[in-house]
Amino acid sequence: MNPTDRKYSREHEWIKVEEGSRGLVGITHFAQDQLGDVVYLDLPRVGTRLRQSAKLGEVESVKAVSDVYSPISGEVVEVNPDVIDHPEVVNEDPYGRGWLLRVEIQDLSELDNLLTAEQYEAYLRETSH
């Protein structure tokens, strides 16, 4: 159910490596489902330096505000304009059109700290009963 072409954090973010050392970052299906209708995203500007596991911004739904953490260290090179204008895209397509940031990855070996789709799904089963 969760795409195998990317890696996952325990805070329910994903990163999909593109050619070279760039990556797309977003939140998982589980995260958007827990949040409910997303109404606003507070995301870092282009040029912001990110650190793996540090808070990068907030995603706001009708019911709550949630912190988003960076799955990787690097620099923001693009922010998805679609999710700014139409936050509901994050609910509709969290792995596709609902991507949040494009990042220049600082250190690819940090990906080893993340989970595969299978490991993430096992983690979800363990933690939600």
Partner 1 sequence: MIPLAQFLKRTPLYQTHTDLKARIVPFAGWEMPIQYSGILAETRAVRSRAGLFDVSHMGRLYISGPRDHLLMDWVLTARASDLRQGGARYAMLCNEEGGVIDDTVFYKLGGSGEQHGSDLPGLIPASYYLLVCNAANRQHVLPWLRRWAQEKFPGTSIEDGTEATAMLALQGPSSSAVMDRLCDVAPANIRPFSAIKGNVASKLALISRTGYTGEDGFELIVSAQDAPHVWEALTGEGAVPCGLGARDVLRLEAGLALHGNDIDASTTPLEAGLERFVRLEKEFVGVEALRRQREAGLRRRLVGLAVQGRSIARRGYPIVDAASSPPDAPHRSVGKVTSGTYSPSLDRNIAMGYVLMEFASPGQALQVDIRGNLAEADVVSLPFYSRRRG
What residues line the site for partner 1 (CB under 8 A)?
36-37, 39-40, 42, 60, 62-63, 65, 87-88, 91, 129
Q: How far is the CB of 34 from partner 1 (least distance, A)?
A: 9
Q: How far is the CB of 106 from partner 1 (least distance, A)?
A: 29
Distance CA 122, CA 118 (A): 6
Q: How far is the CB of 77 from partner 1 (least distance, A)?
A: 24
Contact 114, 71 (CB under 8 A): yes
Contact 1, 121 (CB under 8 A): yes
Nearer to partner 1, 56 or 103 (CB): 56
Distance CA 109, CA 71 (A): 12
